[in-house]
């Protein structure tokens, strides 16, 4: 699947944040943000607490039961993030979108980018591209970047567990 690289990366960051553990530490989040090309990703403990709260709200966007609910959740994320898109050409880069002032604090920038990234996936691709793992007991969310858009599981490991379990159940019933 091909989608806007900047918005797509922001949606992937939203999924990565939503999947973080409650006990994640500042360094782990800073590393995650850096992997997703968030500039100046350093943060204080108070900012980590804000991102922990935000990640729960991001998770709700992936886990929404219907498209209208998903749209409502993403719209609320956009409103709360107060995203103000503009075109930037900093550091000699070609023109690209920013969703918050590049001098804003890391929490403001991450909130704006992740909300906008989810909105772009919903509007430019397909709402079904924001998913939650179908494996029983797994709460992992993902952005489906597969070609056919039919991903059901967060990983091959979860998919294999489900299929092996189903195979064993069928075998027992014989």
pLDDT in tens, 89-147: 877 888 888 888 888 999 999 999 999 999 999 988 777 889 999 999 999 999 998 88
- Rounded Cα gap, residues 17 and 20, in angstroms: 5
Q: What would the DSSP string read from start to end of 58-81?
A: HHHHHH-SSHHHHHHHHHHHHHHH
- The DSSP secondary structure of 118-163, one letter per residue, reads HHHHHHHT-GGGEEE--STT---EEE--SSSS---SSSHHHHHHHH
Give the pairing of strands 141-143 and 130-132. antiparallel
Per-residue model confidence as pLDDT tens digits over 62-95: 999 999 999 999 999 999 998 788 888 877 888 8
- The Cα–Cα gap between 158 and 146 comes to 16
DSSP state of 142: E
User: Strand 141-143 vs strand 96-98: parallel, antiparallel, or unpaired?
Assistant: unpaired
Are 149 and 128 in contact, with CB atoms under 8 Å apart?
A: yes
Q: Which has the closest alpha carbon to 45: 127, 107, 94?
A: 107
Domains and CATH numbers, the chain: 5-173 (1.10.3300.10)
DSSP class of residue 93 equals P
């Amino acid at each position: 699947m091909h989608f806007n690289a900047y918005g797509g990366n922001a949606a992937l960051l939203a999924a990565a944040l939503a999947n973080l553990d409650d006990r994640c530490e500042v360094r782990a989040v800073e590393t995650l943000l850096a992997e997703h090309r968030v500039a100046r990703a350093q943060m204080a403990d108070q900012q980590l607490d804000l991102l922990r709260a935000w990640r729960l709200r991001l998770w709700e966007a992936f886990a929404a039961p219907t498209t209208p609910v998903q749209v409502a959740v993403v719209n609320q994320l956009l409103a709360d993030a107060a995203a103000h898109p503009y075109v930037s050409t900093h550091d000699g880069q070609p023109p690209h979108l920013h969703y918050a002032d590049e001098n804003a604090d890391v929490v403001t920038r991450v909130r704006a980018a992740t909300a906008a990234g989810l909105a772009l996936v919903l509007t430019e691709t397909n709402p079904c591209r924001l998913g939650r793992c179908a494996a029983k007991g797994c709460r992992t969310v993902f952005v489906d970047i597969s070609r056919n858009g039919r991903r059901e599981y967060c990983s091959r490991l979860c998919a294999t567990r489900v299929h092996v379990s189903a195979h064993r159940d069928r075998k027992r019933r014989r």
